[in-house]
């Protein structure tokens, strides 16, 4: 279900234009090879063609085309803004001035903010156009792309399968070549999971490195804004623009000679589909062939359960306060109680159990403090020891333990013969979030069932630019982006 605010303009066939990434499109517009208006029109046509994916809640076609025409005038006047005229999609948890922002809930379907989230302001200042607002799981609370009021987001590789979530529309729209990149959000894996399942690149920065102001929160400790794109270079450009970090030239190397990676089979291969494990091992072999040294590490007894328990205790305890504060500070026309009362039954029941202080599963203040100060510190210590003890720069593992489950089985499905819930999709991404590390998921091919497989790389805290350069080189050696439609 997409609110298309339509115009009568009709663009050309998407053709090759839809295949352009962010860096390529920006260069083509800057050089005068294409106009922003023709590029935007082609992408709008593609959005209409693939509206059944439910990747968007709102697209204002007239506003997007008007912004594109303004970008073309700015270019003619000499502007060299780095994203000039490039349309990007925005997860509908971000405030966007003058454009509907729903947070994925019915209560806010008519809400039009009078301010932009800081990240949206940053890409606009760099010349980008807000193409539309991506569908998401209600309030970003889920991993499958199932949104009750605005529809299930479907996987472009097979529409019977989920997209992943909560940045579900962001992943699907990039994979379907509707937009070259989309802003997302990641608390326990909500960028990396849909990136893996939809076959695109998903970058979660070091927690706190990207601004979060103006983005509906779940957890002030864990929330991270970030981006999904079709290559690492595009993620690196947007990271540079958003953080205003000092420009650092990539190494320029495509080989991996002298690079040392780690992998932890005890923690990340203990419950995965056989196809995923075989593909991961083949990817490791290809990276070694490209010159990388890859060593085995062990993150210690009970690491996975420690990370999951601590993360969910922080996640659930912080939601009510974080969301209530956001609604007040940004003059959002709904209270926490009104939003809670309007949730779909399953989500409302879950909140009644673990989010509301009156719930039987509500995390006590003491348990929360222990998760925050003791358990989280222990997780960070183990990651640090793994990196420093092995002399490695990044940890490699399958982003998700399986490919995208079928929509009809998204709540309960099998991984390696064991029944799991949808929370298992974040089994590998949760520790990264708990530790606040930067992580990036790269598509490395398709499984035997024709669905994408992702490889995650986690770097040391604050070493985002180095991680992006390493990811670019891994992408050259083992990346395998495929276009589903």
The pLDDT of residue 254 is: 74
- Domain assignment of residue 483, yes or no: no
Residue 157 has a pLDDT of: 97
What is the residue range of 440's domain? 3-304+367-478
> Is pLDDT of 188 > 90?
yes
**Confidence band (pLDDT; 50, 70, 90) for 387?**
very high
The model's pTM is 0.95
- Please report whether residue 349 resides in a domain: no
Helices (H) then strands (E): counts for the chain: 16, 16
Cβ atoms of 393 and 470 closer than 8 Å: yes
* Residue 213 contacts residue 113 (beta carbons within 8 Å): no
Catalytic residue flag (residue 93) = no
Number of domains in the chain: 1
Catalytic residue (choose from 93, 128, 163, 166): 166
Q: Is 140 a catalytic residue?
A: no
pLDDT value at 63 more than 60: yes
Distance of CA 401 to the CA centre of its chain: 17
Is 93 a domain residue? yes
Q: What CATH number did the domain enclosing 467 receive? A: 3.90.1300.10
How long a stretch of residues is the chain?
Answer: 485
Structure tokens at 224: 């991270």
119-173 per-position pLDDT tens digit: 999 999 999 999 999 999 999 999 999 999 999 999 999 999 999 999 999 999 9
**So what's the pLDDT on residue 2?**
58
Residues 6+ apart with CB under 8 A from 33: 27
**Active-site hit among 35, 36, 91, 304:** 91
Query: At a CB cut-off of 8 Å and minimum separation 6, what does 358 contact?
Result: none
Residue 16 located in a structural domain? yes
Identify which of 237, 137, 231, 152 has the alpha carbon closest to the alpha carbon of residue 187. 137
pLDDT at 255: 87
166 catalytic per annotation: yes
Query: Residue 473 falls within a domain, yes or no?
Result: yes
Q: Answer whether residue 485 is part of any domain.
A: no
Is cis: bond before 166, omega within 30 of 0? yes
How remote is the C-alpha of 261 from its chain's centroid?
23
**Torsion sign, CA atoms 146, 152, 153, 156:** positive
Strands 439-446 and 201-204: antiparallel
Assigned domain for 411 exists: yes
Dist CA 202 CA 251 (whole Å)? 21
| pLDDT band at 246; cut points 50, 70, 90 | low
For all residues of the chain together, what is the average pLDDT?
95
**Gap between the terminal Cα atoms of the chain:** 20
Which position among 36, 140, 170, 190 bears the catalytic label? 190
Whether residue 404 is contained in a domain is answered as: yes
pLDDT tens readout for residues 24-58: 999 999 999 999 999 999 999 999 999 999 999 99
Q: Which two tokens stand for residue 237?
A: 């450009």
């Amino acid at each position: 279900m997409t609110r298309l605010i339509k115009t009568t303009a009709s663009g050309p066939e998407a053709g090759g234009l839809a295949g352009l990434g962010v860096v390529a499109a920006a260069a083509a517009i800057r050089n005068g090879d294409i106009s922003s208006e023709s590029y935007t029109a082609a992408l709008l046509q593609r959005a209409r063609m693939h509206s059944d994916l439910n990747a968007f809640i709102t697209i204002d076609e007239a506003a997007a085309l008007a912004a594109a025409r303004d970008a073309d005038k700015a270019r003619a006047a000499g502007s060299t803004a780095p994203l000039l005229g490039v349309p990007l999609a925005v997860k509908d948890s971000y405030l966007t001035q003058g454009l509907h922002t729903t947070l994925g809930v019915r209560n806010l379907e008519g809400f039009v903010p009078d301010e932009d989230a800081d990240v949206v302001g940053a890409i606009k200042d760099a010349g980008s156009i807000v193409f539309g607002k991506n569908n998401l799981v209600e309030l970003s609370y889920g991993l499958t792309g199932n949104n009750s009021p605005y529809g299930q987001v479907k996987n472009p590789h097979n529409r019977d399968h989920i997209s992943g979530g909560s940045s579900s529309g962001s992943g699907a729209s990039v994979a379907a070549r509707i937009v070259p990149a989309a802003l997302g959000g990641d608390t326990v894996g909500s960028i990396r999971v849909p990136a893996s399942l939809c076959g695109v690149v998903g970058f979660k920065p070091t927690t706190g490195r990207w601004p979060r102001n103006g983005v509906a929160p779940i957890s002030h400790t864990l929330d991270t804004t970030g981006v999904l794109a079709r290559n690492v270079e595009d993620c690196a450009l947007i990271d540079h623009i958003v953080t205003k970090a000092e420009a650092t030239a990539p190494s320029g190397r495509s080989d991996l000679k002298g690079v040392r990676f780690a992998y932890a089979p005890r923690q990340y291969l203990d419950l995965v589909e056989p196809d995923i494990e075989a593909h991961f091992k083949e990817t490791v072999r290809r990276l070694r062939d490209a010159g990388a040294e890859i060593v085995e590490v062990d993150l210690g007894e009970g690491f996975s359960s420690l990370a999951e328990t601590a993360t969910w205790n922080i996640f659930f305890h912080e939601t009510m306060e974080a969301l209530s504060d956001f609604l007040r500070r940004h003059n959002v026309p709904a209270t926490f109680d009104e939003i809670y009362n309007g949730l779909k039954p399953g989500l409302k029941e879950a909140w009644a159990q673990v989010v509301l202080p009156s719930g039987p599963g509500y995390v006590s203040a003491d348990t929360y403090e222990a998760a925050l100060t003791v358990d989280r510190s222990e997780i960070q210590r183990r990651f640090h020891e793994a990196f420093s003890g092995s002399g490695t720069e990044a940890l490699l593992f399958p982003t998700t333990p399986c490919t995208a489950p079928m929509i009809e089985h998204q709540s309960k499905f099998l991984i390696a013969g064991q029944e799991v819930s949808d929370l298992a999709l974040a089994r590998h991404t949760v520790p990264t979030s708990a530790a606040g590390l930067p992580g990036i998921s790269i598509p490395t091919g398709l499984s035997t069932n024709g669905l994408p497989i992702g490889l995650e790389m986690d770097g040391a805290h604050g070493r985002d630019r180095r991680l992006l350069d390493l990811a670019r080189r891994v992408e050259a050696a083992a990346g395998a982006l495929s276009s589903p439609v």
